[in-house]
Each structure stands twice: as structure tokens, then as C-alpha cells.
Amino acid sequence: MNHKKRILLTGVLLASAVVSGLLTYTRANAVPVERVIHITAKNFQFSPDSITLKKGEPVVFEISSGDRKHGFSLRAFGVRTDVLPGKVSRIRLTPDKTGKFTFSCDVFCGDGHEEMTGTVIVTE
């Protein structure tokens, strides 16, 4: 192999190594796609009031109110937010445990507040 061919081959090998490295880096550092779950709080009910997630799956709850101020609290994962009319409140969560967990309105909103709850089910 003459000198020129050797330089060309070395260049090709180096380039492929760089491309391969970049691909590996990109894969390793890619932001996982979050599943968006829309929740509406209205008339003392959450809709949906039962949400199934997978352990380790990143999700974002987008919660809006259809009437008045509410709260959304998922105590098992230490997250809560106020839910105000005309705004979307977001909670990001990657469940690290399986089971059934209650979420509830934690801002007193009127007659029916006490029963304003729902369930998050996290499976393997």
C-alpha cells in the first residue's frame, strides 16, 4: 500500500470512529420522550381519575381547571401543584416504585372537595 492510500484509509477509519462516537454520545445523552397526560379538574372530579404508568417511564401531567382553583397532590411521590383556571400546571414524574397511589385535591374547593380523588397505578 502506497503512502497516499495509507493516509486515506487512516482518514476513513478516524472519521468512522468519530461518527460512531458521536452516535453513542447522542444516544447516551438523548432526553427521553415524556408521555404527556392531560388531567382536568372540574365539578369536584379529576378526569381521568385513574392513570396507569410504567415504572421508570417519564411522564408529565398537564393539569387544568375547568371551573375554580383546585390542588393536585400525589403524596406518594412528593409532588403537588395548585391548579388554576386558565392555566396549565405541569408535574414531571418518573415513577420509581410500583403500586396504587391516591392523588387528591388539597385545596378546599367546596361541597364535594372531600371526594375529589383519583388513583395512579404504576406497573413494572
Partner 1 sequence: MNKFDRRGFIKLAGLGGGVVFASSLSRGFGLNALGSVVDYANGKAQNDFYFVQLSDTHWGFAGPKVNPDAEGTLKKAVQAVNSLEVQPDFIVFTGDLTHTTDNVQVRKDRMSQFKDIVGGLKVPTVHFMAGEHDASLDRGDAYQEAFGKLNYTFDHKGVHFVVVDNVSDPGASVGESQLNWLKADLKQQKTDARIVVLTHRPLFDLYPDWDWATKDGTAVIDALMPHKNVTVFYGHIHQENHHMTGHIAHHSAKSLMFPLPAPGSVPKKAPVPWDASAPYKGLGLRSIEAGPKQAKYEIKELNVTGA
Q: Exposed, middle or buried, 57 (CB in 10 Å: 0-12/13-18/19+)? A: middle
Options 71, 72, 120, 122; binder of partner 1; rule CB under 8 A? 71
Options 35, 115, 121, 123; binder of partner 1; rule CB under 8 A? 115
- CB 113 → partner 1: shortest distance, Å? 8
Does the footprint of partner 1 cover residue 107 (CB under 8 A)? Answer: yes
Length of the chain: 124
Q: Which residues bind partner 1 (CB under 8 A)?
A: 69, 71, 73, 75, 102, 104, 106-111, 113-115, 117, 119
